Amino acid sequence: MKKSGSGQKNGARGGRAGSRQGFRSREDKPARKSAPTTQRAPKAVTKARPAPVVRAKPAPVEAVPRPTKAQARAEAQETLATGVQTLVVEPDEADMRVDRFLVARFPQLAFTHIQRIVRKGELRVDGKRAQPNDRLTAGQKVRIPPLKLDQPRPASRSAAKDQSERDFLKSITLYEDKDVLIINKPMGLAVQGGSGTTRHVDGLLESMRDAEGQKPRLVHRLDKDTAGCLVIAKTRFAASTMAKSFRSRTTRKIYWALVAGVPRVKQGRISTYLAKEGEEGDSRMKVARHGDEGASHALTYYAVVETAGQKLAWVSLKPVTGRTHQLRAHTAHIGHPIVGDPKYFDIENWELPGGIQNKLHLLARRIVIAHPRTGKPIDVTAPLPPHIQQSFNLLGFDTGRYDPIVDAPEE
């Protein structure tokens, strides 16, 4: 809003804002001059003329900044009706998953509630039922059912807690610029919340919200007990661009694992179909056949780097696809499960060598991904977590050894 050029206009604005200061009432009008009349005898009592009204010059109206898009959305969320509504996908939201779109638009809703809406078919995209992992395109219309916006909000965050969490994230940062953050996720730290999980990476990222209220976004996931490189987008543009890199399989991922036994074929390819079995809270992936319900193709290249007799092998893995528990299920499928894996380690009467901890020995060792703006590769390597470092020291493995998986096929 521009500043007014005169006090009179400012007064008018003040009147529109709810004050009558800039307007004259009938009592304020000056008396009209009457025509000359014959002189009459003065009345006994005369009314005193009211004193002139002195008005203070109204203060100039200051320009009010227009709200940002993020602020407008936040205000809209506060006043949303509980009825059905239709949202239009904006260009900067293109290629987002349906569930992530809802998370971004309605951060006050529990993720479990969002998943339930989609699972029940209550959410429609251009009139059709949507799956949580469906991707949106700009201009699509998303029909949202009545939302439970009166759910309890998370407790207000303290500045001290935010600073503590930012410091922690800084301590595990491997790479950062204005678009990308890559952290060395510790073993035991979940990537997202779930039943009974209160501390996770997605929650820690709340401490990094910018001036417009946007927080960094997860681009992919690691299992809770898998340590290593985790890519995070700091902007919506970066999230969309890097998500495409993962889906198009142009992102290179290298994992290190300590497995039971030594694979007979030192360098090979594992290609299966995987499907989920069991209850949601205790599910695992099983090898399935093409055409089985929920079965997806999974492809992994592997190479043996070094061995400790016939008891243990250090294996380097390059997943081409990104299925849940893919590496853990694949190594178990070929008879060499990962040491410390509570779900897939199925060798009976196998004894853990002395000094080696019974923890998952799987590390997201290296990731190479194109920068979302420049296209140049970001190449990041994570150090060994303490329990794997201890095992390597006991077995005499040298981390500087050449990794043959580097030259493995990409497809």
Q: What is the structure's pLDDT at 166?
A: 95
Residue the block writes with tokens 């499928």: 333
State yes or no: is 202 an active-site residue.
Answer: no
The dihedrals phi and psi of 339, each to the nearest 5 degrees, come to -60, 135
Among the options 99, 179, 202, 223, which is catalytic?
223
Q: Which two tokens stand for residue 1?
A: 């809003």
Q: What is the structure's pLDDT at 5?
A: 46
pLDDT along the chain (411 residues), means of 10: 45 44 45 48 51 54 52 48 77 78 71 76 87 84 75 62 95 97 97 82 92 87 96 92 89 97 96 87 87 91 96 96 94 97 93 93 97 96 97 96 84 65
Q: What is the sign, positive or negative, of the torsion defined by CA atoms of 67, 69, 112, 157? A: negative
> Are residues 257 and 362 in contact, defined by beta-carbon separation less than 8 angstroms?
yes
> Are residues 399 and 363 in contact, defined by beta-carbon separation less than 8 angstroms?
no
pTM tops 0.95: no
The Cα–Cα gap between 230 and 256 comes to: 15
242-407: CATH number = 3.30.2350.10
Q: For residue range 338-378, what is the model confidence (pLDDT) as tens digits?
A: 999 999 999 988 999 989 999 999 999 999 999 999 999 99
Q: What is the structure's pLDDT at 279?
A: 72
Q: What is the structure's pLDDT at 334?
A: 97
Which is nearest to 204 in space by CA: 180, 169, 171?
169
Q: Topology of domain 80-144, per CATH?
A: 3.10.290
Domain-by-domain residue ranges, the chain? Answer: 80-144, 159-215+227-233, 242-407
The Cα–Cα gap between 133 and 152 comes to: 27
